[in-house]
Amino acid sequence: MYTDCILGKDYFYQVIEKIAGLIEEKRDYLTELDAAIGDADHGFNLSIGFREVLKKMPEWKDKDIKGFFRSVGMTLLGKVGGAAGPLYGSFFMKFGEPGSGKDEVTFQELFEMFKQGVEAVEQRGKAILGEKTMVDALRPALNAFEKAMKENLEAKQVMEAFVDAARQGAEATIDMIAKKGRAMRLGERSRGHLDPGAASSTMILEVFLDCFPF
Ligand SMILES: [Mg+2]
């Protein structure tokens, strides 16, 4: 299964370029979400980080997949303020690990990349499901990826299940009370708002589907 589904560096470059464009486009929307329950900087912070990534990307062309994502992660870590910097920084640094010494990965390895990335976010943020964080989008997405793969769905369908689960997970944060981050201080008043991190993570995963070549 999935033997024809090989993803090269060009796919990953395209994904990061598109994420950078999308963050720019959605910058004010993400900041508005953060204004409701946080400190109104999420979109702004991410856009600073991804602008820098976009600027430096040409220097990373010769790196293997691991090296490329390590550079993406380090750049976000260094440039993105607030909690998002360490979280997305850890995500992308770990995401590349299965691509060590490689210019292309299998579909199974793509799953492994997401697995390592999501686990890194969970560890870094010490967050679990139901706390109104990006984990509420990322964890269900990862679980859906694994389930769909076990059911032998086609690669494209696996990616669709993955993104659908992220969307549903993000949507579910609206009814949650925040247990992490600044929003936690609002207690009950954090209910009724979409979590900005869950929203941005979902957007990012959507790009992996949009660019998916199969
Ligand atoms: Mg913020």
128 band by pLDDT with thresholds 50, 70 and 90: very high
Tell me the CA–centroid distance for residue 42 and ligand 1, in Å: 5
Tell me the CA–centroid distance for residue 165 and ligand 1, in Å: 24
Token pair, residue 54, equals: 């976009």
CB-based burial, 7-34: b 16+ in 10 Å, e otherwise: bebebbbebbbbbbebbeebbeebbebb
CA atoms of 134 and 157, how far apart (whole Å): 23
CA atoms of 53 and 47, how far apart (whole Å): 10
Tell me the CA–centroid distance for residue 86 and ligand 1, in Å: 13
Tell me the CA–centroid distance for residue 79 and ligand 1, in Å: 14
Tell me the CA–centroid distance for residue 34 and ligand 1, in Å: 6
Tell me the CA–centroid distance for residue 92 and ligand 1, in Å: 19
Token pair, residue 156, equals: 């494209």
- Cβ atoms 138, 162 nearer than 8 A: no
The whole-number pLDDT of residue 54 equals 97
Q: Which residues fall within 8 angstroms of residue 162, CB to CB, at 6 or more apart?
A: 114, 141, 142, 144, 145, 148, 205, 208, 209
Q: Which residues pair with 7 in a beta bridge?
A: 105
- Tens-digit pLDDT profile for residues 155-168: 999 999 999 999 99
- Cβ atoms 176, 195 nearer than 8 A: yes
Tell me the CA–centroid distance for residue 148 and ligand 1, in Å: 34
Backbone angles phi and psi of 88, in degrees to 5: -70, -35
| CATH tag for 6-210 (out of 3.40.50.1100, 1.25.40.340, 1.10.10.10, 3.90.660.10) | 1.25.40.340
Whether 177 shows a pLDDT value over 90: the answer reads: yes
Tell me the CA–centroid distance for residue 76 and ligand 1, in Å: 15
Whether 149 shows a pLDDT value over 90: the answer reads: yes
Whether 14 shows a pLDDT value over 90: the answer reads: yes
The whole-number pLDDT of residue 1 equals 83
Tell me the CA–centroid distance for residue 68 and ligand 1, in Å: 27
- Cβ atoms 211, 199 nearer than 8 A: no
- Tens-digit pLDDT profile for residues 18-54: 999 999 999 999 999 999 999 999 999 999 999 999 9
pTM comes to: 0.97
Helix (H) or strand (E) holding 48: helix 42-56
Tell me the CA–centroid distance for residue 63 and ligand 1, in Å: 32
Q: Which residues fall within 8 angstroms of residue 125, CB to CB, at 6 or more apart?
A: 83, 87, 133, 134, 135, 180
Q: Chain-wide mean pLDDT for the chain?
A: 97
Token pair, residue 77, equals: 């870590």
Tell me the CA–centroid distance for residue 20 and ligand 1, in Å: 18
- Tens-digit pLDDT profile for residues 51-109: 999 999 999 999 999 999 999 999 999 999 888 999 999 999 999 999 999 999 999 99
